[in-house]
Structure 1
């Protein structure tokens, strides 16, 4: 699935199967989902529920979205970190809302991050993100939940890092789309293998990782997400994998071709700045 192929209509509702069909990936159960398209372009999916635990304030042209993490102080890691980085390094963000007692998710439109801050709420510290819609479409208030006002019209300038997709495609071919973590090969269709290329040190601000072969590994979608959420790390000296909860890969060794030299400094950066266990 390429982002340019995503065809969603503001105000329409989507079941889990509908979201799977639209994005070629199912739900993870997280409020902030880190996703990639077939060109390895990152995007986010945000989910808020009328009966959710965060009491998001969703009214007005600008609205508040509380970060993920239901217990203890929230940290600027995983989905929170990627959403915060979108303030200065914009990326596609799709926002979905499920009213209380509803069975499907309503697509509210693409949003962008205006600001964020860490505040004290209910005896703990959480991140509050100020979001706004940047679509020219408007939600008809007569037929939709009253807690979200029509989006304002605004012209915005967006930028993104240009990736060398040919380099990542070649690397996937060299590994025959086998995940370097688990060895799994996914199928995009009956005759089409699928894998994703992960930048060990993320591109763009504030990480400024290079779009280089030495900063890339080939992974399945699940372990791509685990890297992003900080659930997985690789020892830069031995290649030994550590996983926060998956015993099937914890303690195994990253599969690396002899002609694919990974820069150990990128692994050290990931382990220090992103790994969360």
Structure 2
């Protein structure tokens, strides 16, 4: 913020909504040489790869005089970290009666944790008690990474008789009752992402339909949080899709009129998404109203503009096959992109340059009828080592390294697929070695190909926001096979589309 700009006048309810969505209390569990454990709490506030969100969070922390570190890790993993206990207590006091979730975690630190676990060397029974209480506090949410310590980890390692262990009761916390529009605006600023949703549509002349979406997703929250946002939608007669659970908010606003309706209520109160929402209201939504996406040029231009807005909200939250490059390749001649060169093809090379030695063949329109005919084709593929692939599949017993699934072939043997982290084909030029391979089920093989999975190099933790069953888990590897860090980095940097 420049010196000429006035500081933000933070509404307390707005801050509560924002922090309810970007904040988590985390606990660092360390083992001592004598089989004891120490536990240290910290608050993480994640801007989710959005500079404006980071700026708003940072300014509030500065205004309150909190001491914090801003941690930046590979591939966009960044967060504010607060550890000073007086700061956590002050924030708890600030959020009292306004928060629908985070204050419960802060109250646990100030209450049960401080009374029973803080600044002590914990024996296995006590750390087991702590992890049970911590997981209950999180409503099933767990952090990413191999260093997450679960109650089962402790009980299995130390033979804890869990039936005899009395776990501490969580403190009663004054959560907010109902909602204010300012709190809703904070939640929206904290977790909403905009994107264009595209699907094949035979009733459209160009073969594709597109519509705007605003999506909110936050897992591991108190029922009060979910119910308050639902009540807001009902009170304002909003049309929305709801896949929420008791402790999981999943709300979607689909279509220009429905996105515009919620912005009519929230836009004057937004800070993080003010610029992105202005782009929607002033340009993109009117373009949808005027059906500019019904022809190829309008569709392509609108999609590129929408991607710029999506970037401001944290990036498209799901990899799409149908991105601007896809339509640039599909409609290159109609869009007049060959000479203008505005968007490169997917491969970065022109197939006609590589295949000049082949004769051009034109199949007449009448060649395809209801009776199937046969055509001979020539396929250019990279040669692979089938024995190496078979040995790697056998090493994992055909189980997916991501989800553990083992599928069966018709003859009863296992079925799995091998994925190359750095693809073998040009322009990637990956190597056909086991360090560049993963054994996967077909579904997760496609997910890796589509770039919706990221594996962190430092701890092999998995980001898969569209598959909660594996999101946050650790990639399974054996002692005989470890993916190369360079291959993982290449996938995360070049193939992965997560923001």
TM-score, with structure 1 as normaliser: 0.51
TM-score, with structure 2 as normaliser: 0.30
Which of residues 233, 240, 246 in structure 1 aligns to 2:467?
246
Aligned counterpart, 1:257: 478
Which of residues 228, 232, 238 in structure 1 aligns to 2:449?
228
Which of residues 246, 259, 273 in structure 1 aligns to 2:494?
273
Superposed CA offset, 1:185-240 (max 9, x none): 11222612110000001112111110111000100000000001111010111010
Aligned counterpart, 1:175: 396
- 1:208 paired to 2:439: no
Return the alpha-carbon distance in structure 2 between the equivalents of residues 131 and 205 of structure 1: 11
Aligned counterpart, 2:366: 140
- 1:188 paired to 2:413: no
Q: Which moved more, 1:157-166 or 1:205-214?
A: 157-166
Superposed CA offset, 1:98-122 (max 9, x none): xxxxxxxxxxxxxxx999579499x
Aligned counterpart, 1:51: 203
Aligned counterpart, 1:72: 303
Shift of the 255–205 alpha-carbon distance from structure 1 to 2, 3 Å rule, reads same
Return the alpha-carbon distance in structure 1 between the equivalents of residues 475 and 320 of structure 2: 22
Does the CA contact (< 8 Å) of 1:78 and 1:230 recur in 2? no
Shift of the 52–260 alpha-carbon distance from structure 1 to 2, 3 Å rule, reads farther
Greater radius of gyration (CA) = 2
Superposition CA RMSD, Å: 4.7
Look up the SS of the partner of 1:51 in the other structure: coil
Return the alpha-carbon distance in structure 1 between the equivalents of residues 351 and 207 of structure 2: 15
Look up the SS of the partner of 2:457 in the other structure: coil
Return the alpha-carbon distance in structure 1 between the equivalents of residues 490 and 334 of structure 2: 24
Shift of the 175–72 alpha-carbon distance from structure 1 to 2, 3 Å rule, reads same
Look up the SS of the partner of 1:72 in the other structure: helix
Deviation at 1:54, TM superposition (A): 3.8
- 1:198 paired to 2:407: no
The structure with higher relative contact order (CA 8 Å, sep 6+) is 1
Shift of the 137–187 alpha-carbon distance from structure 1 to 2, 3 Å rule, reads farther
Return the alpha-carbon distance in structure 1 between the equivalents of residues 458 and 368 of structure 2: 61
Moved over 4 A (4+): 77-81, 113-121, 125-132, 134-139, 141-144, 155-158
Does the CA contact (< 8 Å) of 1:120 and 1:126 recur in 2? no
Shift of the 204–127 alpha-carbon distance from structure 1 to 2, 3 Å rule, reads closer
Return the alpha-carbon distance in structure 2 between the equivalents of residues 230 and 190 of structure 1: 32
Q: Report matched runs for 1:78-97 at 5 Å.
A: 79=321
Look up the SS of the partner of 1:140 in the other structure: helix
Q: Which moved more, 1:162-171 or 1:213-222?
A: 162-171
Shift of the 160–80 alpha-carbon distance from structure 1 to 2, 3 Å rule, reads farther
Deviation at 1:140, TM superposition (A): 3.0
Task: Report the count of equivalent residues.
Answer: 180
Shift of the 157–243 alpha-carbon distance from structure 1 to 2, 3 Å rule, reads same
Return the alpha-carbon distance in structure 1 between the equivalents of residues 492 and 438 of structure 2: 15
Return the alpha-carbon distance in structure 2 between the equivalents of residues 159 and 115 of structure 1: 24
Shift of the 119–243 alpha-carbon distance from structure 1 to 2, 3 Å rule, reads farther
Return the alpha-carbon distance in structure 1 between the equivalents of residues 336 and 497 of structure 2: 22
Return the alpha-carbon distance in structure 1 between the equivalents of residues 473 and 425 of structure 2: 30
Superposed CA offset, 1:67-87 (max 9, x none): x99x73398x87479x98xxx
Aligned counterpart, 1:103: none
